[in-house]
């Protein structure tokens, strides 16, 4: 599978799952979005930690102090959600 094919599948999955993000009460929608944000933050933190642990040196790499300063924007969107789970 080529990168372009993977990207196309990703876009199709995002589009298919997007309507489920708005299902439920306002509180359920808010909690879904919060949970997605928490999951993404955890994945991002693990990736940054792995970069730091790898001990790579070079101009394009992340130092441990730089990793601590990186913040993830709060207004981003995510495709990660189980559409059947509305009581998060």
Report pLDDT digits (tens) over 21-42.
899 999 999 999 999 999 999 9
Look at residue 15 and tell me whether its pLDDT is greater than 80.
Answer: yes
Most confidently predicted of 30-34, 77-81, 84-88: 30-34
Convert 6-19 to b/e letters by CB count within 10 Å (16 or more is b).
eeeeeeeeeeeeee
Tokens of 22: 């708005």
- Percent of the chain past pLDDT 70, that is, above it, reads 62
CB 38 within 8 A of CB 45: no
Asked which of 10-19, 40-49, 67-76 is least confident by mean pLDDT, the reply is 67-76
């Amino acid at each position: 599978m080529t990168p372009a094919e993977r990207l196309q599948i990703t876009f199709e999955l995002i589009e298919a799952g997007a309507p489920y993000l708005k299902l439920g009460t306002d509180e359920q929608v808010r909690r879904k979005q919060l949970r997605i944000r928490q999951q993404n933050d955890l994945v991002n933190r693990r990736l940054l930690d792995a970069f730091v642990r790898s001990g790579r040196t070079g101009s394009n790499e992340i130092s441990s102090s730089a990793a601590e300063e990186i913040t993830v924007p709060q207004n981003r969107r995510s495709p990660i959600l189980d559409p059947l789970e509305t009581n998060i």
